[in-house]
Amino acid sequence: AQKVTQAQTEISVVEKEDVTLDCVYETRDTTYYLFWYKQPPSGELVFLIRRNSFDEQNEISGRYSWNFQKSTSSFNFTITASQVVDSAVYFCALSETLSAGNNRKLIWGLGTSLAVNP
Amino acid sequence: DAMVIQNPRYQVTQFGKPVTLSCSQTLNHNVMYWYQQKSSQAPKLLFHYYDKDFNNEADTPDNFQSRRPNTSFCFLDIRSPGLGDAAMYLCATRRLGENEQYFGPGTRLTVT
């Protein structure tokens, strides 16, 4: 069965601190995709990154970076020099391949609520 | 800008009074999804459409129905809302062959 675990329910940091959000996944698929989404208080889910199972390169986008390690089934997300605007719930998700056509269902973690305090 | 639009952003309905939530997209994506998200929980998939092919999740209550009259629009009908249906309802789209889903801003439903 596919599963995504975000063990950190809530994290609170002070502005400018670095913070890492953990994500561990389980899947039997050899081809899969991992995602991070940000959900600010307004409620909209904002797509941050997609990573496929064949690409273990780490990625950096501004203050955001992602560390994908298949050996430990982890896809961790680090925010460097956090800012108050980073305060949100962050969801990690795994894309499941369905048997019908090309439809893919997302398996979601429970989310990590990040509070960045001034 | 291409986007996913949900109207209204906030909806109040009475217990048992039918309500319809709408979603439109300018992305021309083949696949559309409806999710329900309750407070402090992950989104829960209710349905998805692959073009006009409708797929219902096994645990989606019969009280929830959906329509997709064309590529751009998708509706969520709640026939007899209960207090437990109060939630954020999120619409998402995906282009066939790609993997990421793009979400609308959501409609927050209150049932009184």
Taking only the tens place, the pLDDT of each residue in B65-81 is: 999 999 999 999 999 99
Q: Is A102 in CB contact (< 8 Å) with chain B?
A: yes
* pLDDT surpassing 80 at residue A99: no
Are residues A112 and A7 in contact, defined by beta-carbon separation less than 8 angstroms? no
Nearest to B42 among A91, A100, A113 (CB): A91
pLDDT of residue B71: 92
pLDDT of amino acid A59: 86
Contacts with B45 from chain A: Cβ below 8 Å: 105-106
Q: Parallel, antiparallel, or unpaired: how do β-strands A64-69 and A19-21 relate?
A: unpaired
Measured between CA atoms, how close is A27 to chain B, in angstroms? 17
The alpha carbon of B111 is separated from its chain's Cα centroid by a whole number of angstroms, namely 17
Q: Is A63 on the interface with B (CB under 8 A)?
A: no
Q: Which amino acid is present at A7?
A: A
Chain A residues near residue B102 by CB distance under 8 angstroms: 47
